[in-house]
Amino acid sequence: MFAYLILAHAHPQQLARLVRALRHPDAHFYIHLDAKTPEEPFREAVSGEDITYIGHREKVAWGAYSLVQATLNGFAEIIRSQRPYSYVHLLSGQDYPLVSHETMASFFEANPGKQYMEFYPVEGVWTEAIPRIRKYHFVNFDFPGKFMAERMVNAVMPARKMPDELTAVGRSQWFSITPEAIRYIQGYLGRHPEVVRFFRLTWGVDELIFQTLLYNSPFRDSLVNDNLRYIDWSEGKASPKTLTQADWPAMQASGKFFARKFTENDEVLDRIDQSKLHP
C-alpha cells in the first residue's frame, strides 16, 4: 500500500490529473496546499475517501524551512492514519507517474525496506551546497531588512558547523521512503531541537535535511542513491526543464517511476498514459 504526499500550490486540474493517474485501491493521497493558496478550487477538483488534505498548512517559501515543515506535517498525518503503508512517495503537483501502480508495487515488494533518495556528500562532491550550511540564511523569516541583517551576521560570525556531528548529504528533495524511516526522522527531530534550529537557518534545506538525517542513522545501509525520478537540469536554471513530447524517449528509457516537471495540459501526459496501457 502506498501513501502519496503531494506538495501543491497551483493548478488544481493538474493535481486532479496526477491523482487520477495514480489512483488505485492500495493508494491514498495526502495533499499539502500552500497556505497562500485558496483551498476550495482544489477540494472541488480532487476529492474522495482516498484523499486527505493536510489541516496544518504552511506558507511555503522557496528554499526555506517552511517547505520542510509542510513535508513534516504530511508525515504526521500519514503516521496518524495508522494505515499499513509500505512506502511513502513525496511528489509535487507538477509530477507525473511514468509506470503503472502494478509495476511500482512489484518493484518495492522485491526491494523491501530500501530508501530511495539522492544523497551526495556536500564536502567533496556537492560542493556548491557548502555555503548553504556554513552561512546563516534568514529565508525562513519575514522581517524588514532581513537580507541586510543576514549579510551583517555572516560578515562577523564564524562559519557554521553541522550539529550533532552530522555529515551533510543531499540533492533532490523528492524521494520514496518507508514509514519506519519517517518515524525515525520524526523522533530524531523531536529529540534534537538544536538540529531543527540549525536547519531553520539553512538555505535549500529541503534538499538536505531528510537525506542527512537518514545517512547518519541506522537506516544508512538501506539508502539507495536513486530517487526514481526523471528530472532534467540541462538548461542550467534554478528550476528543472519543463518536459514535453520531445523528452518522451529519454523518459521512457530512464527506468524511472516518476518525472517532473510538466505543464497542466501538455500532450506528453497523454503519451505517458498510453504507454502504461500498451507497454
Q: Parse the chain into domains and list their residue ranges.
A: 2-277
> Structure pTM?
0.96
State the pLDDT confidence band at 223, using cuts at 50, 70 and 90.
very high
- Give residue for cell 523531536: 190
- Give residue for cell 482544489: 42
Confidence check: pLDDT of 278 > 70: no
In whole numbers, what is the pLDDT of the chain averaged over residues?
Answer: 96
| Helix extents (H) in the chain | 12-22, 40-45, 65-81, 101-110, 130-134, 146-156, 179-191, 193-200, 209-215, 248-254, 268-277
- Give residue for cell 556548491: 128
* Cα–Cα distance measured from residue 64 to residue 164, given in angstroms and rounded to the nearest whole number: 21
What average pLDDT does this structure show over 54-76? 97
* Cα–Cα distance measured from residue 159 to residue 5, given in angstroms and rounded to the nearest whole number: 35
Nearest Cα to Cα of residue 99 among 238, 208, 265, 259: 259
Fold that domain 2-277 belongs to in CATH: Spore Coat Polysaccharide Biosynthesis Protein SpsA; Chain A (3.90.550)
State the pLDDT confidence band at 266, using cuts at 50, 70 and 90.
confident
Are residues 83 and 28 in contact, defined by beta-carbon separation less than 8 angstroms?
yes
3-class DSSP state of 242: coil
Residue 137 pLDDT: 97
- Cis (ω within 30 of 0) for the bond into 114? no
* Cα–Cα distance measured from residue 117 to residue 151, given in angstroms and rounded to the nearest whole number: 33
* Cα–Cα distance measured from residue 76 to residue 252, given in angstroms and rounded to the nearest whole number: 34
Amino acid, single-letter form, for residue 27: A
- Per-residue pLDDT tens over the stretch 161-209: 999 999 999 999 999 999 999 999 999 999 999 999 999 999 999 999 9
- Per-residue pLDDT tens over the stretch 14-55: 999 999 999 999 999 999 999 999 999 999 999 999 999 999
Confidence check: pLDDT of 265 > 90: no
Residue 229 pLDDT: 98
